[in-house]
Amino acid sequence: MTDETPVLEASNLSKVFSTGGGDIHAVSDVDLRVQAGSFAVLSGRSGSGKTTLLNLLGGLDRPSAGAVRLHGTDLSRLSDSALAAARRDEIGFIFQAFGLLPMLSATENVELPMRLTRENPKERRDRARTLLDVVGLGDRADHRPAELSGGEQQRVAIARALANQPRLILADEPTGQLDSRTGAEVVRVLASLVESHGVAAFIATHDAAPRAHADRTYRIVDGRLRCDD
């Protein structure tokens, strides 16, 4: 279910990398609007600019031109510390490689973002366990990553992305290391959470499975964004 609140807006967004062989226009003049409760999917070949665009939208990189606004705040105008706080508090990141710390349990991995906000330890632990229940891993809360399947690890990563109650989830190839059946299940969990929690999700992927759940689908070709709808 969507509303009219734009969680994320990009306008005339561009990123140019200068090399010895000339400038590379990785992202060119992208306009984008993502609303609360929406599930948007971005596809494109390797090298088309998907990851660069995701990094710009998430404030992991600064644009060469244009603007990214998160609930109206222009990320490019924030100081490094304010930008880090916005990423911590407003955006949940999910990556292909899961990014779990191997020495920590599932619960402790989900707790990590909340440690940065100095949340009360008991409340932190309770929320982590609640989120693991939400993604269907309540009975695996004390297991370490090596004791979990790939799909279970990615669901822990999804729970971790929700830890600080973000407004936006950005996922870069979240099913890239999973078989098709497990990948489809992870996408189903993510889509269900978008609907139940009212967050916006923007997912870059080669996989066809997320498109079945998408409110809007995009392609990026040579750095230029095209809407398929």
Dump the DSSP string for 30-62. Answer: EEEEEETT-EEEEE--TTSSHHHHHHHHTTSS-
Residue 224 has pLDDT above 80, yes or no: yes
Distances (CA, A) of 206 to 28, 73, 78: 21, 30, 32
> Residue 174, class by beta-carbon neighbours within 10 Å (0-12 exposed, 13-18 middle, 19+ buried)?
buried
Helix (H, G, I), strand (E, B) or coil at 143: coil
Take residue 140 and report the two structure tokens written for it.
């695996």
pLDDT at 3: 47
pLDDT at residue number 42? 93
Domain boundaries, the chain: 38-59+91-227
222: pLDDT strictly greater than 80: yes
Q: What is the mean pLDDT of residues 19-47?
A: 88
Q: Give pTM, 2 decimals.
A: 0.89
In angstroms, the Cα distances linking 137 to 2, 104, 129, 145, 195 are 27, 15, 9, 12, 19
CA–CA separation, 54 vs 68, rounded Å?
11
Question: Are the C-beta atoms of residues 111 and 164 closer than 8 Å to each other?
Answer: no
Radius of gyration of the chain (CA): 17
Task: Name the pLDDT band for 169 (thresholds 50, 70, 90).
Answer: very high
* 22 pLDDT more than 90: no
The neighbouring-strand residues paired with 146 are none
For 170-188, how does the pLDDT look when each residue is reduced to its tens digit (9 = 90+)? Answer: 999 888 888 888 888 888 8
pLDDT at 46 (0 to 100): 81
Quick one: pLDDT at residue 229? 63
Please, what is the average pLDDT of the chain? 89
Element (H, E) at 195: helix 180-197
| Rounded Cα–Cα distance for residues 158 and 174 (Å) | 9
Among candidate residues 154, 123, 124, 122, the one with its CA nearest the CA of residue 136: 154
Asked if residue 114 has pLDDT above 80, the reply is yes
Residue 76: closest CA among 85, 67, 84: 67
As a whole number, mean pLDDT of residues 49-56 equals 92
CATH topology of domain 38-59+91-227: Rossmann fold (3.40.50)
Other beta carbons within 10 Å of 38: 23
Tokens read off for 113: 């973002």
